[in-house]
Amino acid sequence: MVVVLVVLMVSGAVAGDTKKVAVAGVQTEVQQVLLDRITGYNDGDITNVRCNDGQDPTVKKGRSFTCDVTVRGQQRQLKVTFEDDNGTYEVGLPELSGGK
């Protein structure tokens, strides 16, 4: 079963005309999404979440970035895509690093 989760970003910083979200908050929320009892892995073995190479991503509808995460001891990668210009984003399912 393929599940795609949508999370509303609650924090953000505006620098000039560019809106960014705090990568630390995104990483925490991605981990929480993956740990969810219903839609996530529900085993507590989700670690080392690192998104967008540690840089705050710029909010723009359709823009995406990747997160690296360790799931049950295996390195995985997932895609995060902004659904609007307000910071709402979709978290994809983790795949083995390299898209396998």
Beta-bridge partners for 5: 91
Q: How far is CA 70 from CA 7, 34, 45, in A?
A: 20, 11, 8
Does residue 12 have a pLDDT over 60? no
Boundaries of every domain in the chain = 5-91
- The distance from CA 28 to its chain's CA centroid, rounded to whole angstroms, is 9
What count of residues does the chain have? 100
pTM here is 0.80
- Residue 98 half-sphere exposure, CB side, CA atoms within 13 Å? 3
pLDDT, tens digit, for every residue of 33-70? 999 888 777 778 899 999 999 999 999 999 999 999 99
Does residue 11 have a pLDDT over 60? no
Confidence of residue 14 (pLDDT cuts 50, 70, 90): very low
Q: Where are the alpha helices (DSSP H) in 1-100?
A: 23-35
Q: What percent of the chain has pLDDT over 90?
A: 61
